[in-house]
Structure 1
Amino acid sequence: MPRVLKSRLRWLPALLVLAGLFGAALGGGVPGGGEVVRAAPEGQSALPGVVISEFRFLGPEGGNDEFIELNNPTGAAVDISGLKIIGSNNLGSTSTRATIGIVILQPGQKYLLVNTGASESLKVLNDATYATGITDDGGIAITLADGSTIIDAVGLSTGSFYKEGSILPPLSGTANQSYERKDGGCTDTDNNSADFIWNQTSSNPQNSSSIYVPCLRVTDVTSETVDGTYTEGASIAVTVKFSSNVNVTGAPTLLLETGVTDRNAIYSGGSEPDTLTFNYVVMAGDASGDLDYVATNSLSLNGGTITGAVGNASLTLPSPGADGSLGFHKAIVIDNQAPPSVISFTRQTPSTTPTNADALTFRVTFSEHVTGVDTGDFVAAGTTALPTTVTPVNISLLYNSMYDVTISGGDLPLPTFNGVVGLDLSGAQNITDAVSVPLPAGEPAIDDVYTLDNIPPTVAINQAAGQADPASGPPVYFTIVFSEPIDVSKFTTSDITQSIGATATFITWSITDSGDHQHFTLSATSVAGNGTLTPTIDALKVTDLAGNNNSDSTSTDNTVVYNDNVAPMVTVNQADGQPDPTSTFPIRFTVVFSEPIIASIFTPSDITQSGDAAGITWSITDSGDHQTFTLSAISAAGTGTLKPFIAANRVTDVIGINNLASTSAGDDEVTYVPVPTATRTPTRTPTRTPTRTPTRTPTPTRTSSRTPTPLPGVPVINEFLPHPRTDWNADGAANYGDEYIEIINVGVLPANLKNWVLEDTGGGDTYTLPETILQPRGILVLYASQTGISLSDGGDGVRLLRPNGTIADAVDYPVVESADRTWCRLPDGNGAWTFGCWPTPGRPNARTGAGEPTPVSQPSACPLADTVPAAILSAECGSPGDSIFGAGWWRDGEFWLGSRWKWDVFIE
Structure 2
Amino acid sequence: MRSIRLTGRLAAGVFGLLAAQAALSAPLIISEFRVRGPNGANDEFVEIYNNSGADHTVAASSGTGYAIAASNGVARAIIPNGTVIPNRGHWLAVNSVGYSLASYPAGNGTTATGDATYTTDIPDNAGIALFNTSEPADFTLANRMDAVGSTSEANALYKEGTGYPALVPFSIDYSFYRDSCGKGGSITTFGSCPNPTIADTDNNAVDFIFVDTNGTSAGAGQRLGAPGPENASSPITNPASGTWDVLDTCVSGQSPPNSVRDFTSDPANNSTFGTQDIRFTYTNSSGQNLTRLRFRIVDLTTFPAPSGIADFRPRSSTAVVVTVDRPPCGSGTSNVTVQGTTLEQPPSQPNGSGFNGSMSVGSVTLATPLANGASIDVRVLNGIQQTGHFKLGLVPEGLTSAGVSITGNVIQFDCATDGGCTPPNVTSSVRVDANPTNAPTVNYTVTFDLAVAGVDTSDFTLTTTGTIAGASVTSVTGSGTTRNVAVATGSGTGTIRLDVVDDDTIVAGTTPLGGVGAGNGNFTTGQAYDVDRTAPTVTVEQAVGQPDPAPTSPINFTVTFSEPVSNFDAADIILGGTAGATTAVVTGGPTVFNVAVSGMTTNGTVTISIVAGAAIDAVGNTSTPSTSIDNVVIFNGVAPIVTTEMPMLSPPMLLLLGVLLVFVAAGARRRFVD
Normalised-by-shorter TM-score class = 0.3 to 0.5
TM-score by length of structure 1 reads 0.27
TM-score, normalised to structure 2, is 0.36
Using CA pairs under 8 Å that are at least 6 residues apart, name the structure with larger relative contact order, 1 or 2.
Answer: 2
